[in-house]
C-alpha cells in the first residue's frame, strides 16, 4: 500500500471492492477506495468521483474546514427513496493531493456498507488491527468493590491491537445474580454487536457478544469486564488497571 501522511492524517489505497447504499440503491461502488485515517483509531473510506452515482449528490451550499484536509464542500445524498442531508463531502483543493477528486460519505447516514460481499458495521476494518482469541487455563478472578463477581480457570483471552487484553469468561463462572442488563448496545466491525450489564450496581461494567461475527465466534456468549474500572486477578496477581479510551 502506498501511504501519504499530513499531520495526523494518513492515506492509503485498498484493493477491496467497497459499496455503500442509501434507500436500497447503490450510491458508490469502487475497487479504488482510499483508506483515510482522519482520527488515530480507525480509517474511513473515500470514493473516486468517477465511482459515485453523480445523480445521488446534490451540493447543499455548506462548507466545512479542516486544518489538515482543507475546505470541504458538503452534499446531500439522495437515492430517490431516501435523502441524507450533508452526508457526503469532498475536498476539491485539499493540500492532500490524494483526496482531490474523492468523496467521503458519513458512515452512519448510509443504510449499509460492504467490503466485497460482506457487510461491514461501524467503520472500515483497519488493516493494521488484529484480533486474536486464545483458549487459556489461567485463573482469572474479577472483583467489584471487594466482591468477587467472576472466578474462572477457562478464559478465552482476546488480544486486539491497541486495546487492553480482555478476558472472556463462561457465564457459569460469573455471579449472574449480581448482573443486571442495562439495555446498552454497541457495535464493533471485528466482533459484532454487544449487550451490556451493570455489575453490583455499577453501570455497563460487563458485556457479551451473543452472536459475534464469524472471526470472533470463540467468544460467543462469554462475558468480559472493563479491566479499567474494576480489579482483575490473574493467577492470584492483581493486575494494574489499564489506561484506554474506555477508562
Q: What percent of the chain has pLDDT over 90?
A: 91
CATH of 131-238, one of 3.40.50.300, 2.170.150.40, 3.30.1330.100, 3.30.2350.10: 2.170.150.40
Half-sphere exposure of 153 (CA within 13 A, CB side): 2
Q: What tens digit of pLDDT does each residue of 151-174 get?
A: 999 999 999 999 999 999 999 999
pLDDT at 187 over 70: yes
Per-residue confidence (pLDDT) for residue 41, from 0 to 100: 85
Q: Which residue has the cell 435523502?
A: 83
Residues 12/3, Cβ–Cβ less than 8 Å:
yes
Exposure of 124 by Cβ count < 10 A (0-12 exposed, 13-18 middle, 19+ buried)?
buried
- Do the first three CATH levels of 3-119 and 131-238 match, i.e. the same topology? yes
2-56 pLDDT per residue, tens? 555 555 789 999 999 999 999 999 999 999 999 999 988 899 999 999 999 999 9
Taking the C-alpha atoms of residue 135 and residue 149, their distance in angstroms, rounded to an integer, is 21
What are the distances in angstroms from CA 115 to CA 16, 20, 30, 33, 35?
6, 9, 10, 10, 12
Which cell numbers hold the place of 223? Answer: 462475558
Vertex 103 angle, CA 98 and 105, to 5°:
130
SS3 string, the chain, reads: CCEEEECCEEEEECCCCEEEEECCEEEEEECCCEEEECCCCCCEEEEEHHHECHHHEEEEEEEEEECCCEEEEEEEEECCCCEEEEEEEECCCCCCHHHCCEEEECHHHCCEEEECCEECCCCCCCCCCCEEEEECCCCEEEEECCEEEEEECCCEEEEECCCCCEEEECHHHECHHHEEEEEEEEEECCCEEEEEEEECCEEEEEEEECCCCHHHHHHECCEEECHHHCEEEECCEECCCCCCCCC
> In sequence order, what are the residues at sequence separation of 6 or more whose Cβ sits closer than 8 angstroms to the Cβ of residue 91?
66, 69, 70, 71, 72, 73, 99, 100, 102
Domain range annotation of the chain: 3-119, 131-238
- The pLDDT tens digits for 88-105 are 999 999 999 999 999 999
- Give the residue among 98, 115, 93 at the shortest CA–CA distance from 28: 115
Q: What does pTM read for this prediction?
A: 0.84
**CATH no., domain 3-119:** 2.170.150.40
Confidence of residue 192 (pLDDT cuts 50, 70, 90): very high
Contact between 45 and 35 (Cβ < 8 Å) = yes
Amino acid at each position: 500500500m502506498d501511504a501519504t501522511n499530513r499531520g495526523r492524517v494518513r492515506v492509503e489505497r485498498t484493493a477491496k471492492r467497497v459499496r455503500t447504499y442509501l434507500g436500497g440503491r447503490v450510491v458508490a461502488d469502487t475497487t479504488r477506495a482510499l483508506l483515510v485515517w482522519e482520527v488515530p483509531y480507525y480509517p474511513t473510506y473515500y470514493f473516486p468521483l468517477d465511482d459515485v452515482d453523480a445523480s445521488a449528490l446534490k451540493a447543499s451550499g455548506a462548507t466545512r474546514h479542516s486544518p489538515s484536509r482543507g475546505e470541504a464542500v458538503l452534499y446531500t445524498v439522495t437515492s430517490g427513496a431516501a435523502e441524507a442531508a450533508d452526508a457526503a463531502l469532498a475536498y476539491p483543493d485539499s493540500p492532500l493531493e490524494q483526496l482531490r477528486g474523492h468523496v467521503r460519505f458519513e458512515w452512519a447516514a448510509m443504510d449499509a456498507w460492504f467490503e466485497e460481499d460482506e457487510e461491514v458495521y461501524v467503520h472500515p476494518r483497519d488493516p493494521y488491527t488484529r484480533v486474536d482469541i486464545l483458549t487459556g487455563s489461567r485463573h482469572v478472578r474479577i472483583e467489584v468493590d471487594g466482591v468477587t463477581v467472576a472466578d474462572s480457570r477457562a478464559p478465552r483471552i482476546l488480544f486486539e491491537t491497541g486495546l487492553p487484553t480482555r478476558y472472556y469468561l463462561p457465564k457459569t463462572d460469573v455471579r449472574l445474580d449480581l448482573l443486571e442488563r442495562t439495555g446498552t448496545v454497541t457495535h464493533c466491525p471485528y466482533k459484532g454487536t454487544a449487550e451490556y450489564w451493570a455489575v453490583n450496581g455499577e453501570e455497563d461494567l460487563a458485556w457479551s457478544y451473543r452472536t459475534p461475527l464469524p472471526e470472533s465466534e470463540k467468544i460467543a456468549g462469554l462475558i468480559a469486564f472493563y479491566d479499567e474500572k474494576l480489579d482483575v486477578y490473574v493467577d492470584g496477581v492483581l493486575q494494574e488497571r489499564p489506561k484506554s479510551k474506555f477508562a
